[in-house]
Amino acid sequence: MSSNFPDSIDSITNPNSTDPLSNPSHSQQHIIANNAIEALETKVGIDGSTDPNSLDYRIAQLETESGSAVAENLGLGGNNNLEIYGIENATTIDSLDSNVWRSATYELQITKGSDVYSSTVKVLFGAETSITESNIVTTNDSFNNPAHLDFAVNGSIISLVVTPISGSVSVRFIRTAIKK
């Protein structure tokens, strides 16, 4: 009898210390255990496994792709850990290919001095680029958006451009996007 793993979990009889070696069969116990260990090793994989069915390979792919393919599949992007400081002129802070993406949502935080402006910007890519801004929050009631937001189109590439109204601003953002 061999192991059923990984198709199903084996039901292995643990012998008692008083059982004879023939009941359950001592050799069968070893065969089942050895087959199960081999199946586990195959499923887990060796370090650096190239077997696409092994867990080691799959985890390595996720770790490798966490900054690219996984984020790409989820439409994630942004600079939440790295603020863009000292923007004084029109500056592209993000770009998307409208051949891939249908829409995007940005959570923006624009800072000028000690004042902070935060909002949600949604954009829909189509024959025309449609934009809406909502959920505006500022650090004080008299502080308006210190920058102009625009989506520049260059072929299928659509870029979010921030242009300060006056002086210098800093920007952080996160983006989620939905594919076509």
Q: What is the pLDDT of residue 16?
A: 82
Do 133 and 167 reside in the same domain of the chain? yes
- Residue by residue, pLDDT tens for the chain (180 residues) are 677 777 788 777 778 888 887 887 778 878 888 888 888 888 888 888 888 888 888 877 766 554 555 556 656 676 666 677 889 999 999 999 999 899 999 999 999 999 999 999 999 988 888 999 999 999 987 788 899 999 999 999 999 999 999 899 999 999 999 988
pLDDT on residue 86: 87
Specify whether 94 is located in the same domain as 119: yes
Residue 27, Cβ neighbours under 10 Å: how many? Answer: 10
| pTM of the full structure | 0.60
User: Which DSSP string do the residues of 18-48 spell out, in sequence order?
Assistant: TS-TBTTBHHHHHHHHHHHHHHHHHHH--TT
What does the buried/exposed string (b/e) look like for 145-157 if buried means 16 or more CB atoms within 10 Å of the residue's CB? bbbebebeeeeee
Residue numbers of the domain that contains 114:
75-179
Same domain? 41 vs 84: no
Inside any domain, residue 70:
no
* pLDDT score at 12: 76
Alpha helix locations (H) across 13-136? Answer: 26-44, 55-65, 69-74
Count of domains observed in the chain: 2
Looking at the fold, whether 103 and 155 belong to one and the same domain comes out as yes
pLDDT at 92: 94
Among 33, 65, 97, the domain-final residue is 65
